[in-house]
Each structure stands twice: as C-alpha cells, then as structure tokens.
A = this chain, B = another copy of it.
C-alpha cells in the first residue's frame, strides 16, 4: 500500500514541476509578446491559459486522492497541503500571463510612448523570482525559499519606480494617459506575480518546517 502511496506522491511532485514549467514559459512568452508588441503570440498565451487551469485541477485531484485513500503521516500531510495551496498561486500566475497578454493586445495599435526600462527590469526580476521559487520546491531548499521572500522588496521598489515614471509621463503629455494606465496595470500584474512567487516560497517553507503559518 505504502508503495502505491509513494508513487502517487511522486506523481504529485512531477505534476507540480510540470505546472511550474508551464507557467514559467507562459510568463516568459508574455514578456516577449509585450516587449515586441506581438499580438499573435499574446493570443496564443491567452489560449494556453486553459491548459494551466486544467493542470491545476489535475493536481488538486491527486491531492484529494492522496488524502482520502490512505492515512498519510504528518510530513506527507504537510507536502499535500502545501501542494494544494501552491497550485492556486501557480494558477494565478498563469492568469496574470494571460492578463499581460490581454493588455499587450489592447495597446498594440499604438507604439509605446516611452522606453520601458523599469517594466522590463521588473519583468526579468519577477521571472527570476518565479523560477527560483519553483527550484526551491524541487530542491526542498528552505534557505533558498527564505532568500526569495526577502527579495520581494526589490519588485515592490521597481513597481514604485514604474509608477513614478508613468506619472511623470502623464504630466509631460496628457494624451499619454490611457497608455500610462495600461502600462501601470502591466506593472501591477508583475508585482502580483512576485507576490505569488513569495507565496510559493512560503509554502515550500511550510512543507519543510514543522510550524504553523505565521498569522
């Protein structure tokens, strides 16, 4: 019995890594589509979001089956509980890849009114953070997970930079208002992806630790 349980636990692990790869790709493509104003790619990303959603439900079902078929020990319960919560953050990251792509399509008729240095920096920082959080899960590396949580400030500060940029842009030219608001939304989506990557790191710590989550 235990062997079958371990097999399923192993499958859970594989599927989580698979979902991690899916959302990494979605975000990376979303950044490319956004920077190059590639609406065709943006549309593909939006379409692929249903695959991410399907994978979330698949993982949830594995978790429930694990909980229900066996009497898992405490350590397994932590792993399964963390997995159940992590997929929500992963799915949400997938949503934001689609959100960014929607914005890419919305703005596509106009060229960008300014260099997008800060947003680009935010994007690459966020992608890094996401990849590290999934790697920390794969490696069961608590120190790496803690480092990710510390790093979230960097994204928050970059968001404030972007905000300042865009407000300056509106002051210089009121006609830019609409695009500025759209770009602010894109920056906000990246900020949220950073938050979800932080959550993933917190769940990694929860899975490895033996304490409750901090309130």
A: residues with CB less than 8 A from B are 54, 57-58, 60-61, 63-65, 67-68, 71, 74, 77-78, 81, 84-85, 88, 170, 177-178, 180-182, 185, 212-215
Asked if A61 and B178 sit within 8 Å, CB to CB, the answer is no
Contact partner of A88 (CB less than 8 A), chosen from B65, B74, B88, is B88
- Asked whether, in the complex, the Cβ of B81 is within 8 Å of the Cβ of A74, the reply is no
Would you call A215 and B85 a contact (CB within 8 A)? Answer: no
List the 4 closest A-B pairs by CB distance, nearest first: A177-B178, A181-B181, A61-B212, A57-B215
Pair A67/B84 contact, Cβ less than 8 Å? no
In the complex this chain forms, how many copies of it are found? 2
A205 to B84 alpha-carbon distance, docked (Å) = 18
Can you pick out 14 interface pairs between chain A and chain B where the beta carbons lie within 8 Å of each other?
A57-B213, A60-B85, A61-B212, A61-B213, A64-B77, A64-B213, A65-B212, A68-B74, A68-B77, A68-B78, A84-B84, A177-B177, A178-B180, A181-B181
Kindly identify which residue among B81, B170, B180, B182 contacts A67, using a CB–CB cutoff of 8 Å: B81
For residue A78, which residues in chain B have a CB less than 8 angstroms away from its CB? 64, 68
Nearest B-chain residue to A64, judged by Cβ = B81
Report the minimal beta-carbon distance from A97 to chain B, rounded to whole angstroms.
16
| Known contacts A71-B71, A178-B177, A182-B181; is-contact A215 B58 (Cβ 8 Å) | yes
Give chain B nearest CB distance to A106 CB in angstroms. 9
By beta carbon, the residue of chain B nearest A192 is B95
Which residue of the partner chain, among B54, B180, B212, contacts A64 with CB atoms under 8 Å?
B212
Given A177-B177, A178-B181, A185-B185: 13 more A-B contacts, CB < 8 Å: A54-B215, A57-B215, A60-B213, A63-B81, A64-B81, A64-B212, A67-B67, A67-B77, A68-B74, A81-B84, A178-B178, A178-B180, A181-B181
